[in-house]
Amino acid sequence: MRSSSLMKLIILYSFACNLIWLATCSRGPVTISRLVSRQLFDSIFLHKDDAVCPANGFYTYESFVQASRCFPGFGNTGNLVTRKRELAAFLAQISHETTGGWATAPDGPYAWGLCFKEEVNPQSIYCDSTNTLWPCSPGKTYHGRGPIQLSWNYNYGPAGRALGFDGLQNPEIVSNNSVIAWKTALWFWMTEQRPKPSCHNVMVGRYVPTRQDIAANRTAGFGLVTNIINGGLECGIPTDGRVSDRIGYFQRYATIFNVDTGPNLDCQYQQPF
C-alpha cells in the first residue's frame, strides 16, 4: 500500500474514533463550573458582550462549560492551586488573542477579553502550501478564529479531525459555532504538537525539557506557553508589548483566583520553537 493511502486510512480511522469520543464527551462530568461560576466568568469578561465588541453574545458561559467536558484533564489536574493557575493562564492567553482593550479602556486594559471572534485585517490567508497532509481548500482562508485565534491549515485540519468537523473545507464554523470555537481553543491548549509540548503539561508541571529546549532556554512557566502559542513572533524579543499584555491578563486573573503566577512569565530570553 502506498504511504499516502495508508496515511488516509489512518486519518479516517482516527476521525471515526474521535466521533465516538465526541458522542460521549458531552455527557462527561462538569468540573470547570466548580472553579468558574457564571458570576465569576462574567466578572472576568466584563465587556465581552458590549455592542462595540464584534463577538458580543458569542462566547457564552454555557458553551465554555459544555466544551470543557470533552477535555476532562483541563482545570482538573494537580492540586487546587495548580488547577486554578492553569485556568488563569488559559483565560489570560485567550483574552490577549481576542482583546478589545487599550491602555485607557474603561475598567482597565485587561477587562476586554473575548471581544473578537476573528482576526482583524489578516495579512494573508494563512495557507502553508507545502503541507500536503493538510492541503488548503480553494477559496478558503485559515486566519485566526475563536478564543485561541486558531490559524493555518496545519492547525485547522488536525483540530477538525479531532473535534469532528471539516477544518479545511469549513474553517468558518470556528467563528459561527460557539461550542466548536471553545473546543478548538481547548484542543490547542491540551494537545502536544512536537517539538512543542502542550500548554496544559507546562502549566501542570508535566513539561520535561529536551536537550534542545534547555539549550534554547525554554523554561517552564507562563512564558513558555506564550512561546507555544506565538513564539515565532513574540519570543526572543526584549520587553515585547504583546507578551506584556498576556502577562497583564495573567496577573489579573491569578489575583482573581487567589493564586500566584509562578516564575518565568515572559519569553524574551527563549528561542522560539
Residues annotated as part of the active site: 97
On the 0-12 / 13-18 / 19+ scale of CB atoms within 10 A, 218 is: buried
Please give the grid coordinates belonging to residue 120: 482583524
| Residue type at position 59 | Y
Longest CA–CA separation in the chain, Å: 62
Contact 253, 91 (CB under 8 A): yes
Measured between alpha carbons, how far is 26 from 255 in angstroms, rounded to an integer?
31
H or E, element range at 234: helix 222-234
DSSP 175: G
- The full length of the chain comes to 273
Query: If you ran DSSP here, which 8-state letter would residue 129 be given?
Result: T
Grid look-up 502577562 returns 247
